[in-house]
Every structure is written in structure tokens, then in C-alpha cells.
Structure 1
Amino acid sequence: MAEAYCEPGGRHFQRVYVQAHGYIALALCLLGSAANSVNIAVLSRREMASSTNSILTGLAVADLLVMLDYVPFALHIYTRLGSALNRNSYGWAVFVYFHSIFSQTFHTVSIWLTITLAVWRYIAIKFPQKNKTLCDKRNTTIAIAMAYVVCPILCLPIYFAMNIEEMPQPLANHTSDANATSVNDTGVSGEPIYVITMTNNKGLLTAIFWMYSVFIKLIPCVVLSILSVCLIMKMKSSDRRRQKLLKKSAITTNEGEKARLNDEGGAKKGGGGGGRTDRTTRMLLALLGLFLATELPQALFGLLTALAPHLFQVCYYSFGEVMDLMALVGSAVNFVLYCSMSRQFRCTFERLALKLLPGGGGGGGGGARGGALPLTEVSRT
């Protein structure tokens, strides 16, 4: 039955797309690595200090590590830029083995930091009086540290699911074993060829598929969907309450009091209050929407594979590169999101760039102006 869904279209698609995947992934990784480096530099500035920005910094670090790791992998597997190297050596097999574990681990860190970000924002909106206590610097640091400690443990079963095996030359040159991933499809005659194979333990494979699809992918998507809906409802409720208060003040106050309220409202829009909170929430909703768009298809495909493990051998390899690309897109475009939705992020980035560029001494004035800014979150404008 699996062949009916994935053959021959899936294999044909994979053969065509894989020719371009390496170069697309390389361009995305290089741009994304630069963007996440800028995110870390900007968000860790003193004037940007906040619990939200600390989580965003941890998120940028995880995304940066994923993209840096993918660069040699893409060069090695999908391009001919390193054709002089013996790609079937034991050393390369060890690297591919390491890549499989490393990339999944830090992508999982990124996922759970995104959940932490959504929970922190929900607390700030739903329980503003408890926000400073529950989401203070200490608890934020603990949450980030937990993500970096627990996620490698969650991904540990992947370590036991793969093996490095030496294959006879004829078998490696035209691999027919769907359970084996050749490090390369070309080999030097007479030299041993090493491949990464999945374990024959069906119970372990099934457990890994369930862990990957349900606990690492699907549950975070469901949690973020619920939190996003709650945040949207809370924003609408706050808007309605604000409108009622404005109408009530218009009826019960005299002209002088109306003018004072208008002035206060303008000050809130410029320097703080509900408008700034809503902008922060909208930026984070956009971030969550991006996460769901890139992760939910992978979660559903993983769930399908967990329900029918034989689909892994037939279907997963046909679309594995596409799922890799979706994950890389999600890790790369946060910089664009921050720049488009946060004036303070743009201003801080501009001041930092002026300091670093040759002849950018004029940025010192901007830095002095920045020193007068309040400690604030990335989406404050």
C-alpha cells in the first residue's frame, strides 16, 4: 500500500529536487547563520534586556548551531564541491552519524524554547500582576538551561537507532537496502564503503517515531496552537475593555479631564502600556505562526510514519530533504520578522552596525541615545 502513495511520484520528485537541495540549503544556512548571529548580538545588548529577549537569544543560539552543522552536511552529501574527498570513508560516516543526532537535538531545543516563549507571553497577558515573579530573570534562566539539558536526553534514543556498517563495493554502489543510507553514491574501487543503517529493532524504531512525531513535534504544535488562540482572545478582550473605558470616560469627564486622558493615552502609545504589550504579543504570534507553518507538516508526516513504520523506508526518504528545508526556513527568517515588527530592534541593530563599521564612530551618539532607553522587549516600538 505504501508504494501506491509514494511510488513512482515520490522517488521521481526526490531525484529531481535533490539536485538543487544542497545549493538552496547552503544559501539558506549561510544567510540564516549571519541573521542569527545578528539576533544574538542585538538581543543581548543591555538596553534590550528582558525575559522575552533572553529566550529569543537562546532560540537564536540553537538555530545558529543547527545551521552551522548543516553547512558541511550539505556540502558533503548534496553538492560536488568536495568531490576530491573520499566521501565514503569511515570519518565521513562518523560525521553523518554525529549530524543526525546534533541537528535533531538543537532543533528540539529550538522547539521547546518557542513553547517557553509562548507560555511566558501568556502569563504576561493573563496574569500581569504575577508576571514579574513567575517570569523573572532567575526562572527564565532556569527554563533556558532546562531546554539545553533535557532535550539532548530526549534525543538520546536516536543514538541507539543508527549504526555505521561497512558495505561491499557492489552493494554500496547501487544500494537496494531501503534501510541503509549511503554516505555517498560514488566510491573508489577497492576501498571500503561505509553507510549509516537503521537498527533492525522494530520496537525501538516505533518508539523513536512516536517520540519524534508526538512528543517532539505534534504536542508542541498543539500547545502552541492553543496558546495562540488564547493570546488572540485575550488581545481582543483587552481591546474591548479599553474601548469601553474610553467611552465611559467620554461621558463622565469634563473637557479638561478628557484632554488629560488623551495626553496620557498618547504617552502610553509612545512609551509603554497596553499598545506596547499588544505589539509584543502580535510579534510573538507571528513567530508562533511561522513555527506552526514549518513544523506541523513534519509532525503529521512523522505521526503517519509512527502509525505505519513501513512508510519510513518507502516514503520518508522521498521527502526528507523537503522537511529539512522547512526546518531551515523556520530557523533563518526570525531576523526578518524582528526587523519588520520592532522599531527598537532596528534602531539597536543600526547603532551596533555603526559602531562596527569602519569610520562608524558617529554611532557613539546613537549609543548614548540608546543608553537612555528603558530596559525593554524586542517588539517595543
Structure 2
Amino acid sequence: MNASNATYCDLDQFSKDFRGYHVYLSLFVCTFGSILNILNVFILSTKQMRCPTNFILTSLAVADVLVMLEYIPFAYLHDKSTTSSHYFTYNFAAFIIFHALFTQSFHFISCCITIVLAIWRYIAVKFPQNNAKWCNGSRTKITILLTYILCPFICIPLFLSIDITEMAVSIDAAGRLIPRPASNQTNLRNATIYFANYKQNTILKDISLYVYGVVIKLVPCILLTALSTLLIIEVLKAKERRKKLLRPDAGNGVVKRKLQQRHLDKEKQADRTTKMLLAVLLLFLMVEFPQAIFGLLNHIIGEKFDKECYQPLGECFVT
């Protein structure tokens, strides 16, 4: 730790080691995940499967597919050697900015759609008598459309805070960057490299870090944690209701027992659906919470923490 002069983290070696596996893991996860999500879209879009919950799941699958398909070329191109001047072209710097904004926008859409899914499920469990009215197909489609429109607007500060920076460097005949050329090196030539970087505007950068760390990462995690807790409470209440219905009662007639059985079957089906969606929410939280914490620390501590801790783990997070 001392040898590397790291203040918060010493993850350079981990980052270098993981980089060798990152492209293969990314290509596998993105290809496999895209295929599964495309299948989900086709299945959930069939006539017999159309319902508000499946509309939400379809829109979630679409957002995830777009993120993964866009990440495939980025993972391949980003795997090239960063010591070569060919890596630092203007076009690639522009692609890096596009990748960052596209990925964050659709990832945020995915987060918000997941929150909508949790809210819709909570209403279905807590207020079953109003579910058909409050969460009908039209309202669900409008909510999804607004989510797809508004989320990219919230990400605008990220776009405003990033710019392409150019720098004059020395390169050798093979195009490799020479950071500190020796005085006796004669086969060098000057070149200009381009890379994506934060603008010098401190206010824009602070707003960008706040939007990323708090609005895009932390707030969805807090909301999903609260909604997951409420759903778990409702599942436990439903379990108690089933116990009461199953309790022997000598006064029950045949008709009443049939009604109870019908209600019990509906409760079991709703319970299974809720548990499945809870599993989705909890898996989502397991992935998102570490990024949310690091994003918040980025905003609080600043650039040094970002360079020492977040950036070395960046490829690990996105994989």
C-alpha cells in the first residue's frame, strides 16, 4: 500500500489481472443474456401473455438487451492496448462518450422499470380490489413510455460534464506512446491523442457525480429496498391468511369451503408470482448496492477515490 502511495485502495494489480478475463466474460454474459432477453420479449409479447406485469417485464428485457448489445463492441475495442496511439483516436473517444451516456441512460431506465415492477406488485398484493383499476394496461404503457423518455433527460448532466481532450505526445515507429522519451531516442515523432475526460468546470463535474452516485445509483436502491421489505411483509401476511382459511371450522358449509378453496388457490398463485419478483428485486439489489455505495463515496470523497477505487473496479462492476 505504501509502496504504491495509495490513499484509499491499492487495486492496480487486480485491475490489470482482471482485464485479461474481462473481454471474454463480457462477450459471454452479453451474448447469452441478449439471447435470453430476446426470447423473453418474444414470449411475453404473445397475445395470451399480454398483461400489465408482462408489459413491464418486456420493457425491462428490451432495456437490458440494448445495454448488452451496445457493450459487446465496447468490450472488444476497449480490450486493445492502451499504450498504442491507435487506441486514442478522436472517433474512439467519441464512441467512449456515447457508450457512457447510452449505457447509463438505459441502465437507469432498467432501474426505474424495476421500481415500477415492485410498485405494481405491491399494489396487486396490498390492494387487490383496486389493482385492475390502478394498474391497468393503459396506465402501465404510459408509465413505461414516460420512464423511457424521462430517464435520459435526468442523465443530461453526465453528457454536459464530459468532453474530448487532446494532448500532444511522442510515439515510436510502432505507434506506442512514450511518456518520458530519452534524449538519445531518435526514432520518435510527435502525435496528437484524444480521450474522454471531465470538463474543467467543477460545478458541472460535481453535479454529474451527484446525479450518478445519488440519483442513478443510490435512490433506486433505497426505493427497491423499501419496496422489497413491504412485499416481504405482505407475503407473510398472506401466509397467515392461508393458515386461517385452512383452519378446520365445523360451521363451514360446502359452498363456503369451495369459496375458501378458490380464494386459497388465487392467494397461492399471487404468492408464487410475488416470490419470483422478489427474487428478481433482491438479485438486482445485490448487483446495484455496491455500485451505489462507491458512487456515493465518489461524490463525497472526490477524484482520488474515483481513480484509486472505482475506476480499477469499473470493469468488474459492469461484468
> TM-score, normalising length from structure 2?
0.87
Instruction: Give the equivalent residue in structure 2 for 1:282.
Output: 275
Instruction: Give the equivalent residue in structure 1 for 2:292.
Output: 299
Instruction: Give the equivalent residue in structure 2 for 1:321.
Output: 315
Report the residue type matching 1:251 in the other structure.
A
* Contiguous gaps of at least 5 residues in structure 2: 181-187
Report the residue type matching 1:275 in the other structure.
K
Distance in 2 between residues matched to 1:297 and 1:280, nearest whole Å: 27
Post-superposition shift, 1:197?
A: 1.3
Distance in 2 between residues matched to 1:130 and 1:156, nearest whole Å: 37
With over 3 angstroms needed to count, the CA separation of the structure-2 counterparts of 1:147 and 1:30, relative to structure 1, is same
**Deviation >4 Å, runs of 4+:** 188-191
Question: Which structure is richer in relative contact order (CA contacts within 8 A, separation 6 or more)?
Answer: 1
Post-superposition shift, 1:190?
A: 5.4
Report the more deviating stretch, 310-319 or 284-293: 310-319
Q: State how 1:1-381 maps to structure 2 within 5 Å.
A: 3-6=6-9, 9-79=10-80, 86-170=86-170, 173=177, 191-247=191-247, 250-253=249-252, 257=254, 261=257, 265=261, 273-310=266-303, 311-325=305-319
Report the residue type matching 2:277 in the other structure.
L
With over 3 angstroms needed to count, the CA separation of the structure-2 counterparts of 1:174 and 1:319, relative to structure 1, is farther
Post-superposition shift, 1:268?
A: 6.3
Check conservation: 1:22, 1:79, Cα contact below 8 A: no
Q: Secondary structure at the match of 1:273?
A: helix
Distance in 2 between residues matched to 1:69 and 1:200, nearest whole Å: 29
Q: Secondary structure at the match of 1:197?
A: strand
Q: Secondary structure at the match of 2:249?
A: helix
Check conservation: 2:168, 2:190, Cα contact below 8 A: no
Post-superposition shift, 1:191?
A: 4.9
Distance in 1 between residues matched to 2:148 and 2:280, nearest whole Å: 20
Distance in 1 between residues matched to 2:105 and 2:30, nearest whole Å: 17
Q: Secondary structure at the match of 2:6?
A: helix
What's the RMSD between the two structures over aligned residues? 2.7
Report the more deviating stretch, 238-247 or 101-110: 238-247
With over 3 angstroms needed to count, the CA separation of the structure-2 counterparts of 1:128 and 1:175, relative to structure 1, is farther
Report the residue type matching 1:322 in the other structure.
C
* Contiguous gaps of at least 5 residues in structure 1: 177-187, 326-381
Distance in 1 between residues matched to 2:63 and 2:88, nearest whole Å: 29
Report the residue type matching 1:194 in the other structure.
Y
Distance in 2 between residues matched to 1:96 and 1:228, nearest whole Å: 35
Post-superposition shift, 1:118?
A: 0.3
Q: Secondary structure at the match of 2:88?
A: coil
Alignment deviations for residues 287-322 of structure 1 (CA, whole Å, 9 cap, x no partner): 100110000000001111111112123322111111
Check conservation: 2:8, 2:308, Cα contact below 8 A: no
With over 3 angstroms needed to count, the CA separation of the structure-2 counterparts of 1:15 and 1:238, relative to structure 1, is same
Alignment deviations for residues 9-66 of structure 1 (CA, whole Å, 9 cap, x no partner): 3111111111111111111111111111111111111111110000000000000000
Alignment deviations for residues 88-142 of structure 1 (CA, whole Å, 9 cap, x no partner): 3222221111111101000000000000000000111111111111101111011
Post-superposition shift, 1:243?
A: 1.4
Q: Secondary structure at the match of 2:7?
A: helix
Residues paired across the two proteins, number = 303
> TM-score, normalising length from structure 1?
0.74
Check conservation: 1:36, 1:61, Cα contact below 8 A: yes
Distance in 2 between residues matched to 1:175 and 1:34, nearest whole Å: 43
Check conservation: 1:44, 1:57, Cα contact below 8 A: yes
Post-superposition shift, 1:262?
A: 6.3
Distance in 2 between residues matched to 1:79 and 1:290, nearest whole Å: 32
Percent identity between matched residues is 37
Report the residue type matching 2:68 in the other structure.
M
Check conservation: 2:199, 2:205, Cα contact below 8 A: yes
